[in-house]
Chains A and B, each alone.
Chain A
Amino acid sequence: MIRLTVNGESMQLYSANNLQELLDKLHLGAQRVAVEVNCEIIPRSLHAQTRVREGDRIEIVRAIGGG
């Protein structure tokens, strides 16, 4: 089990090895989002090969209405 912070919320994860699996678990795998791990942007093409590690701080953002 590893502990992560995702969008400011603590989260315990039993089975996610990489970012893509995490996004799928959060039902965001098919959505248009951008992801930062520990303040570093991880390009979409690298999600499947980027391991998530204990203590990672992950930000997942999307576009919303704004002026």
Chain B
Amino acid sequence: MTTEISLNDPMIVAGRSFNSRLMVGTGKYKDMAETQQAIEASGAEIVTVALRRTNIGQNPGEPNLLDVVSPEKYTILPNTAFCYTADEAVRTCRLARELLDGHDLVKLEVLGDDKTLYPNVTETLAAAETLIKDGFKVMVYTSDDPLVAKRLEEMGCVAVMPLGAPIGSGLGICNPNNIKLILENANVPIIVDAGVGTPSDATLAMELGCEGVLMNSAIAHAQNPVLMAQAMRKAVECGREGYLAGRMPRKSYATASSPMEGLIGSK
């Protein structure tokens, strides 16, 4: 029989408490039903959405994402994906706040180019400044540069979200040392956003001490997205528990686990 140790270990973002440390996107799923099932299986409480123009004159009755991912059940995190300037990102966040009845938590991402989808840091800093002045609570996607991460924290971002690898690449945490450097100086939640491909990538992010992981493609592009969502939920919990438990020290040589004393045939 196993007895589970229950942890009271919520993630706190912008003064709000969340039981799940896995945040998920809603893009790239086959259909709304799969989106809903995968999000359910992930256990995520924070769910990202994008903002786009409505179709004019086409499919007026098509299902609305917010009917499937209800703002009453989930904390909706509108993103600024495919914004390339601070102005576009700020405009998108303001529209999101109107769309979601005054909801002020946003995921800021200002991209630099199409090929890498790497963050444009100067535009990100400019957008963050405007948004924070305007009362937004900004969770910011950024590069894994420790100095930029610190600067964003000092400006008042409520969470700093360095990439593990380029968006949608599934390459994992390419530079764990940078994530460690960011964590050493951080006083706000550090959340790995982008790059995770496998459950072990998510576990590694959590073992490093990140407060959470945000992902979309790793689940949506899996062969079985719903099963992968469940695996990611466990992986994030697993990594968090491992982090809290504290790993054994690394040693260069072997240390026996069994005692040397009482060995048969000894004197």
B51 CB–A CB distance under 8 Å: yes
Residues of B within 8 A of A62 (CB): 51-52, 54, 64-66, 99
**Cα-based distance from A64 to B68 in the complex (angstroms):** 11
Interface residue? B79 (CB, 8 A): yes
Task: Count A-B pairs with CB separation below 8 Å.
Answer: 106
B64: which A residues are within 8 A, CB to CB?
31-32, 62-63
Chain B contact residues, CB within 8 Å of chain A: 25-29, 35, 48-54, 56-57, 60-61, 64-66, 76, 78-79, 81, 91, 94-96, 98-100, 167-168, 194, 214-217
Q: Which residue of A lies closest to B52 (CB)?
A: A64
Which of A6, A11, A61, A67 makes the CB contact (< 8 A) with B99? A61
Q: Among A11, A26, A34, A65, point to the contact of B98 (Cβ < 8 A).
A: A34
Partner pick for A63 among B78, B167, B168, B217, CB 8 A cutoff: B78
Instruction: Tell me the minimal C-beta distance from B166 to chain A in angstroms.
Output: 12
Whether A41 lies near B95 (C-beta < 8 A) is: yes
Which of A7, A11, A65, A67 is B54 in contact with, Cβ under 8 Å? A7
Decide if the interface of chain B is mainly helix, strand, loop or mixed.
mixed
What are the residues of chain B within 8 A of A33 when measuring CB–CB?
A: 54, 99
Given contacts A32-B64, A67-B167, A67-B216, contact A61 B25 (CB under 8 A): no
* Bound Cα distance from A66 to B78, whole angstroms: 8
Q: Once the chains are docked, how many angstroms separate the CA of A28 from the CA of B61?
A: 9
